Amino acid sequence: MAKEVDGKIKLKLLAGRAQPNNALGALLGTHGIDASEFCLAFNNQTVREGLGTLLMTSITKFQDHSYSFSFEPMDQT
């Protein structure tokens, strides 16, 4: 059975360099997402993209309070 989506967030983040600072922490916190946990998972998964590569990141929050995220490099033109 598919999980029901509760919300979506789109962000531009640097690969391997997300930090749970005030801005990101507040944004994720309003959606019930632990910023420290997200940053650790995001940095671990994106470090192979090249540190500092700008990534368009989509976070999907589910009604059961879990979330998933995906990312893709942004054009640097």
pLDDT 10s digits, 18-62: 999 999 999 999 999 999 999 999 999 999 998 989 999 999 999
Beta strands in 4-76 (DSSP E): 5-14, 54-62, 67-73
Distance between CA atoms of residues 7 and 20, nearest Å: 20
Q: Which fold has domain 5-73?
A: Ribosomal protein L11, N-terminal domain (3.30.1550)
Domain boundaries, the chain: 5-73
Segment (H or E) for 54:
strand 54-62
| pLDDT above 80 for 69 | yes
What is this structure's pTM?
A: 0.88
**Partner residues linked to 58 by β-bridges:** 10, 70
> What is the C-alpha R_g of the chain?
12
Residue 15: which of 61, 59, 73, 60 has the closest Cα? 73
